[in-house]
Amino acid sequence: MTDTQDRPGADGGDAFVSAFDAVGADYLFCSSGSEWAPVWESLARRHRDGEPAPEYLDLTHETVAVGMATGYGLVERRPQGVLLHAAPGLLQGSMAVHGALLAGVPMVVASSESTTYGDGPGQDPGGQWYRNLSVVGGPHHVAQPFTKWANEAASIHTLPTMVTRAAELSWRAPAGPAYLNVPLEILLEEWDGRTAKPIVPPGSTHSSPEEVDPVAQLIREAANPVIVTETAGREAGGFEALVAFAEAWNIPVVEPDSAVCGNFPRTHPLHAGSDIGPWMDTADLILLVNCRAPFYPPSRRPSKARIVVIDQVPQRPHIAYQALFADVYLEGDVANTLRQLAKRARDLDGAAVAARRAAQEERYAAEQAAITAAEARAAEAIEGIDPVLVAATLRRLLDGRDGIVVDETITHSRAVKRHLKTAAPDSYFYVQGGLGQGIAVALGVKLAARERPVVLTIGDGAFTYNPVIPSYDAARTYELPVLIVVFNNRVYKSMNLNHRRFYPDGAAADTGEWLGTDLTRLPRLAAFAEPFGMHTETVDAPDALAPALERALKAVAEGTTAVVDVLVTR
């Protein structure tokens, strides 16, 4: 705490805003609740008096508030503030908070309840808390299962430091959302002006040479090593460090379907696709780099490979069940560890390196040929638009634009990753934790990278889960133009695939009564954007696809969100 300052009339709302300003939050993402009047008053006063404060975003849905904070944090990697309404608002936003936990995004989520219900001194908080808003034990107990840390600021005297503590905890590895319940009475209480100390970035832990040298020797002795990664690209400098490490040792890199971001250039000759299967019986060394769940089912372990886990926090506390089969752990900062290993790439067995380089060149050439063939088939299709054509066309149109892709498709996610071929750091993110967040996450990414085009690829089923109207309102209000491309196959395909898989000869297969899957009854999805003055197109013919996407990208470049609903064949 710093020395007491004289701030006449200041209350807990001002303490709250002051603490987030000290924390270094750029934004307060707020889905309004009646408890935040003290914060709004503090912001109004600060704006009037020219005092510093985080920028306030007034959002109309909890998922939008949390999702935008997630998207912003994916790029900036620093904790921001999220304000929700009591326990009901927290529950409404809980899926997105859980998604931030899985994505490793730091943020401080706050909501509030009354603790005196009008029976205490001071201002009356209102009867709504007593009647229907409060939950037993307080909302911090509700938040515990889907946050990294959850607690309550029970005093005006500890409020600023509790905000600091929450921000610091959220930023430390494994990064994730922290939750703070701030009772309304605390926000209304007089504040003596003591402010929170600014926080600094986390320090780094490094694997020692005594730990790294034996791993370098394992790599040196391996004839057929492979790198598997899910989230190396989430670490600052992790993408570049992984490229340098793989190149120094000539080791192929697999990004499994569970990869949640771009970790390695998909255009790189050492990129080995998304299937770890070919290495399960042939690899003699598997390097799991920020890989939370590499094997499925978890008991499916490699037959002969030794396993090295490179991850600052390999045992993720938010994963209910996790099997890594590690023989060695390197638990220092991932980027630093990879750089240390890259420097040790010497005295290599030339014949072994040449053999695996040749094998990878053959694999890479076969994959590129398969991609080319798939795109040729998609382009030659006479009727309808193949999803591969959509992804390939987006790749061509985004070439040279430094674009960012946020993906919330399910059955089309492999095609998106395989054919878009993102190749730069922070150029691809897959939405975590449940469908219905994609538009908000894309808006948050755009908020952090206004100069880069941001494209959301999304299925029609996922689109209907999103709070579309509040998301469009945020896009227009805060001038965050993004391109939304809907892969619309008019069906909940993943549900249908599971039904067919579990009951291939069942009653539904016999009668054609496939329940829980039909989306043909929905209206034109692009039309929801029309009242917001956005660019909208519906495309159902292959020759119309590229011109429509070109017009949409032009609209986005000129400052207007564009929605292109593409009717795909599968």
- Mean pLDDT of the 357-378 span: 96
User: How many whole angstroms separate alpha carbon 429 and alpha carbon 311?
Assistant: 20
User: How many whole angstroms separate alpha carbon 491 and alpha carbon 189?
Assistant: 53
pLDDT in tens, 411-459: 999 999 999 999 999 999 999 999 999 999 999 999 999 999 999 999 9
User: How many whole angstroms separate alpha carbon 96 and alpha carbon 402?
Assistant: 27
User: How many whole angstroms separate alpha carbon 214 and alpha carbon 193?
Assistant: 54
Residue 4: pLDDT band (50, 70, 90) is very low
The radius of gyration of the chain from alpha carbons, rounded to an integer in Å, stands at: 25
pLDDT in tens, 108-122: 999 998 888 888 888
- The pLDDT value given to residue 1: 35
Q: What is the DSSP letter of 490?
A: S
**Is the pLDDT reported for residue 272 higher than 80?**
yes
| Percentage of the chain modeled with pLDDT above 70 | 98
Say what the pTM is: 0.95
Strand order in the sheet with 107-111: 55-59, 27-31, 80-83, 107-111, 177-181, 149-152
The tokens for 436 are 């219905």
- The pLDDT value given to residue 3: 42
How many contiguous H segments (helices) and E segments (strands) does the chain have?
21, 17
